[in-house]
Structure 1
Amino acid sequence: MCFSAEVSFGASAVISTVGVVAVKKSARKEQLFFALIPLMFGVQQFFEGWLWVALQNEGYRTTEMLAKYGFLIFAQLIWPVWVPLSVYKIEKNRKRKRMIGGSLILGIAMFALLAYRMAAYDVSAHIDHHHIYYTVGHFNSTNWWSGALYLLPAVFPFLFSSHRRINILGTIMLLFFVISKVFYLKYMISVWCFFAAVMSIYILYILKKQEPEVKQTIPIS
């Protein structure tokens, strides 16, 4: 994220810890993909922490490449597929499940397009005014239209869910997306992912609040 390697590593440690607890709190197998989101964000922030270190020190070219691609694979390839898939697996309402499924199809299409773009063009990252600025070829994070398309699979499935607390998560993430676009447009990828990573901690709260429901559905033998 912006600011420093320490911020990224600190966020990674906290969010990963929450992620481990969230996985343990997932009482049903269909919740696992959803519960893994904070842990995966923790890994993503760890990659960016190492990218900060590599960009600030000479002789870390291999580390820089691995950290740069590691971060962007999460940001641009994994989340547009993982988010709709995780919400789809826990959704029971058929109408809403179809909407989330549509987002998943779009996410898979974006995965293919962005993976091709990442493979076909040069990928760069450099520190600029206490932020990391990413570019893929001549593409960058200043395109509003690309951001809108990204929202459909990466955020809107939370809003399509029939679970109120997941709707709240989606609403807050959407708000932070807009804030990132308005105030940090050039550094959108880095800043937005940090906000989303921090907000993913809320997933543990969602899972803990669902525990009574889960226990009531367990048949008594």
Structure 2
Amino acid sequence: MCFSATASFGSATLLLVGGALCTTHAIKNDKTYLLLAITPLLFALQQASEGVVWIGYNENFTLLTTTASIFYLFFALFFWLTWIPIVAFSLETKKWKKVFFITLIVIGFVFGLYLWAPILLETGPRHLLKTSVCGHSLCYITSDYSLFAITAGHIIYSLLGFLFLLSSNRIFRKFWALVMLLGVIVYFTQRETWVSTWCFFAALSTLWIYFLLINDYKAKMKKQDS
């Protein structure tokens, strides 16, 4: 999490449990939701990596801090932009929306690579990575980023996120609407640490997936019995 190593590892553990429950439920009852169900497990990996960032930062271990930050930003800047439309595509039933989500997968991959590759390769005007503590949270803003570039990146990132709400699947829409609502709230309250703080709240929101799946399954069973 964005507040301490203990909180990061604690949230990762919680997400592992929640992800295991979601995955088990999907495998037993409806494999259609498998990609959505394993999403908490992937968020657990990201949150654990931020715990490592905290350890490196607190111990003044620059190499560990930088390496863990790059891994954390792999998820934040690249992976989610590709994974979420893949999940939406896997749940989509309308043909034109399937094509739409394939397009978003490609766009997310290219834009995510644009954001993350310079940090990984340490090349170009956007390569510098400076992890620091802003208030009580981690921030990953480089000195080379202009305010315009940061704002433009946030806008494009958010617009892509809102497009995922066009999914026809009710469970996915409910889950992702919560993620985007939290993203908007965090942006206007903790903009400097947006990357870290939003990822934390988005991670915890994946626990809701389990209850959405359970309620959907119960509704289907009740419908069959009536």
The secondary structure found in structure 1 opposite 2:130 is strand
SS at match of 2:140: strand
Report what 1:40 is aligned to: 42
What residue number does 1:56 align with? 58
- For residue 96 of structure 1, what is the aligned residue in structure 2? 97
Worse-superposed segment, 106-115 or 95-104: 95-104
Change (3 A) 1:161 1:134: same
Specify whether residues 155 and 141 from structure 1 end up closer, same or farther in structure 2 by C-alpha distance, changes over 3 A only. farther
TM-score, scaled to structure 1: 0.86
1:135-150 map, 5 Å: 135-136=141-142, 138-139=144-145, 143-150=150-157
Q: Judge conservation of contact 1:76–1:111 (CA < 8 Å) in 2.
A: yes
Alignment counterpart, residue 151 of structure 1, candidates 149, 154, 158: 158
Aligned AA for 2:145?
A: F
Identity level (%): 24
Find the counterpart in structure 2 of residue 194 from structure 1.
Answer: 200
Q: Assess if the C-alpha contact under 8 Å between 1:181 and 1:188 holds in 2.
A: yes
Given that 1:81 and 1:153 are in contact with CA atoms closer than 8 Å, whether structure 2 keeps it comes out as no
Structure 1 112/214 Cα, relative in aligned 2: closer, same or farther at 3 Å?
Answer: farther
Moved more, 39-48 or 25-34: 25-34
Q: CA deviation at 1:71?
A: 0.7
CA distance in 2, matches of 1:29, 1:164: 16
Over the residues paired in the alignment, what is the CA RMSD in angstroms?
Answer: 2.4
- Number of aligned pairs? 214
Cα distance between partner residues in 1 of 2:146 and 2:64: 22
- SS of match in other structure, 2:131: strand
Shift of 1:213: 8.1
Shift of 1:66: 2.6
* CA distance in 1: counterparts of 2:86 and 2:77, whole angstroms: 15
Return the alpha-carbon distance in structure 2 between the equivalents of residues 25 and 140 of structure 1: 46
Q: Structure 2: give runs of 5+ residues left out of the alignment.
A: none
Q: Residue by residue, what CA displacement relative to the aligned partner does 1:24-72 show, whole Å, maximum 9, x if unpaired?
A: 12235543222121111111111111111211113x3332233211111
Aligned position for 2:173: 167
Structure 1 contact 84–100 (Cα < 8 Å) conserved: yes
Q: 1:185, CA displacement in angstroms?
A: 0.8
Query: Are the aligned partners of 1:135 and 1:141 in contact in 2 as well (CA < 8 Å)?
Result: no
Cα 1:135–1:150 change in 2 (3 A) is same
Q: CA offset at residue 77 of structure 1?
A: 1.1
**Greater displacement, 137-146 / 117-126:** 137-146
* Alpha-carbon distance in 1 for matches of 2:221, 2:25: 12
Match of 1:219 in 2: none
| Equivalent in the alignment of 1:112 | 113
Distance 1:176 1:151, change over 3 A: same
Q: TM-score, normalised by structure 2?
A: 0.84
Alignment of 1:173-212 (within 5 A): 173-211=179-217
CA distance in 1, matches of 2:107, 2:52: 31
